[in-house]
Amino acid sequence: MTAPRLTLPSPAKLNLMLHILGRREDGYHELQTIFQFLDYGDEITFAVRDDGVIRLHTEFADVPHDNNLIVKAAKKLQEQSGCSLGVDIWIEKILPMGGGIGGGSSNAATTLLGLNHLWQLGWDEDRLAALGLTLGADVPVFVRGHAAFAEGVGEKLTPVEPEEPWYLVLVPQVSVSTAEIFSDPLLTRNTPPIKVRPVPKGNSRNDCLPVVARRYPDVRNALNLLGKFTEAKLTGTGSCVFGGFPSKAEADKVSALLTETLTGFVAKGSNISMLHRKLQSLL
């Protein structure tokens, strides 16, 4: 009998805005941000094992096996649920690391949701999101799968319905260190909190952008090039840069002009993650 298998998408996210309100006593920063998903991402395949072993078969040059968030997520879920089953995991990786589009966090969330389904644990979303938060501040939004206005360190989520344009995402070939950006003395840390819902138009800036653009010329170049065609934004602490377009044809047209010198992709914005659409289809 072949082991139960499941292949699931692990989507990218964008930060449509990112305001930094202040630094907390624990060293983390108070944020306000809007997360939206892209119909674009990695693909992860899970096959159940009955011996309790968790093995990621895809190797990553810079990340030891047990340090990978996929493995950490699987082990934490196994420990906390008391499940005796294990899993073999393979990933088709296309999301860049250090790009600000949530690759690692998304992979962790897909692992939690996928194994909850395969191991038949019956955990609800709240419990999975709470476990996800111990792996990273961005994991809960991927677990919940709905575009959200986020506060705190990014874990207090209120569902929102922003427009769903087509995006051109440019991927400068640099990995931006989040810790480095958040420790920069020139980072804006006193943006007044937004109290109005929905978030007023014109509040779409990213407070990390000036610091990242100053430190990383490749990101600055991507912002300048894309800015000739649409409002160019930074997602998270970067390095990825994005802009919205009303149609795929328009996004493709600009992509053809810019991707001769820069890596990039075109993807549809989505308020419901493609992971959740796939899981829904399995019910």
For residue range 247-267, what is the model confidence (pLDDT) as tens digits?
999 999 999 999 888 999 999
Distances in Å between the Cα of 50 and the Cα atoms of 47, 86, 119 are 10, 6, 10
Would the annotation count 84 as a binding residue? no
Name residue 30's amino acid: E
For all residues of the chain together, what is the average pLDDT?
Answer: 94
Q: What is the pLDDT of residue 3?
A: 76
Query: Quick one: average pLDDT of 159-181?
Result: 94
Which two three-digit tokens encode residue 201? 């138009």
Instruction: Tell me the pairing of strands 166-170 and 264-270.
Output: antiparallel
Tell me the per-residue pLDDT of 172-188, one tens digit each, with 9 for 90 and over.
999 898 889 999 999 98
Would the annotation count 106 as a binding residue? yes
Residue 252 annotated in active site: no
Which two three-digit tokens encode residue 88? 């073999």
Would the annotation count 227 as a binding residue? no
Active-site residue, from 13, 42, 207, 233? 13
Q: What is the pLDDT of residue 1?
A: 60
Nearest CA-CA partner of 145 in 11, 281, 244: 11
Query: Quick one: average pLDDT of 111-118?
Result: 98
Residue 275 has phi, psi (to 5 degrees) of: -65, -45
Q: What is the pTM of this model?
A: 0.95
Active-site residue, from 39, 42, 72, 138? 138
Residue 253 annotated in active site: no
Would the annotation count 152 as a binding residue? no
Query: Quick one: average pLDDT of 144-150?
Result: 97
CA distance 151 to 183: 20
Q: Lowest mean pLDDT of 16-20, 257-261, 270-274, name the range.
A: 257-261
